[in-house]
Structure 1
C-alpha cells in the first residue's frame, strides 16, 4: 500500500529545519516524521530543486512567454540565483520545465550565466578583528590576587573592505561609531575609487547585505543618486558573501603576527 504523501506545510518545515543546520535525526524527532522520509525529501530537493511532485508522464511543455519573462526578471534581480532555484520557480509558476529548457530560454533572452557575470560584482562588508583572536579568550599565567591587564592600545579594529573576482579593492579602518553617516562617507571616498582601481566597467553590480546602515533611506538615496546597480540580497539568509573568506585570511594573518596593540 502506498504511503500518504506529507503535506506541503510539513515538507516546508523539514526543508526549513534542514537549511537552518538541523540534522536528519533532530528533524525526525521534532516533527515526528520517519528519518528515512526526511532524508528522501531533502534528497529530492537537492536533485530537482523542489519537494513538490512533478508530472510523471508526457513531455514537459515549453515555457510560455509570460513564464520566460518571469525567469528573466528573477535572474536580472539576483545574479546569484542558481539553475536549481529557477527550476523550483518554474514549478511554483505552474510551468515545470527541464534545466535545458530554462537555460535555452534565458540564452534566447540574451542572458548567459557565466563567470563573466560574477566578474562584474563588487563585494563588500564590514568586519571586526579582535587583537587577541576572533572573539576568543586568551588564557595567561598570573599570581593569585593580581589584576589582569592589557597593554595600552589593545582591543579590536573595525574594517570596511571590498573586492572583485580579480583582486581586493580598498580596505578602510573605521574610526568612531559606525552608523549610516559613517557608512555613506566610506562609500563616497572608496567605492567608485575601488571600481577604477579594479578596472570594473561602469555597469558593475554592487553587493551589500541588509544591515540597517545599508538599507537606510539616506543610504538608498545615495546609491540611487550614483545610479548603481545593487545586487538583491535575501533577508535572514546564511552568510553567502565570499568576502568572509578574505576576512578569515586577514584575521589569521593578524593572529600570526601576535600584535600587542592596534598600532602594530
Structure 2
C-alpha cells in the first residue's frame, strides 16, 4: 500500500511543478495561446484532484500504527493544491479582465479593489462548496452505517426466530416423550402388579406352618397355588446354592458368627449375578417343557 502512495506522490510532484510553471506563464501570453494554456491547466488540476482522492484511499488501507505519517503528508499536499487553485483563479481573473478590456475597451476595466473583492467572493464560495461536499460525505457514510445496522438487526431477528422455533419443537418433543414415558410406566405398573399379586413358594413345612400363614394373611400377602411335586424354577433357589457354596469353607462357632458370615457372603454377590439368574428363566422354562416336567440341569 505505501509503495502505491509513494508512486502517487511522484505523479503529484510532477503535475504540480508543471501547473505552477504554466500558471506563471498565463499573464504573459495573449489570444488563443493563453486560452489553450488556461484550459490545459484546468485539466491538469482535475488530474491532481483525482490523484489526491487515490492517495486518500491508499491512506485508509494503511495500518493504523503507520497511518499518521501518511495523513500528515496528504494534508500538506491538499494545502498545496488549494494554493495552486487560488493562484490559478487569480490568473484567470486577470485573463478575464484582459478579455473584457479587449471587448469593452478602457471603460470596462475593473479597479484593483473590485478584482480583490471578486477573488474574495470566489474563495468564499469555494469554501462553502467544500463544506457542503464534506457534509454530503458524512451523510452518505451515516446512511451506510445505518444500513449495516439494519442488516445486522435483520440477521439477529432471523436467528432469534430460528431459536424460538427450535425451542417450540423441543418443547413439543419433550411433551411427546413425557406422554410415552407415562404410558410405559403405567404399563409397567400393571405388569408388576400382575406378577406380584401373590407369593410363590413350595410346600415345605416352614411355608405351610400356621404362624407363616397367619403372618401372610395379616399383611395382605397372597400365596399362589403350587402343586406338591413341581419343577422348582424359583431363581432364589439358585441364589441360595451360591451362598451355600461360598460359605462351605466358613467355620462359624456360634449363631452370631453364622449371621455375620451369612450377611458378608450375601453382600459379596454382585447384582450382575442376580440379573443373570433372572434372565435365564426363559431357558429354564423351555428346558422344563422339553423335559415334560422331569428334572433339568437347572
TM-score norm. by structure 1 comes to: 0.16
Instruction: Identify the structure with bigger relative contact order (alpha carbons < 8 Å, sequence gap 6+).
Output: 1
Structure showing the higher helix proportion among its residues: 2
* Superposition TM-score, scaled by structure 2 size: 0.15
Flag the structure with larger Rg.
2
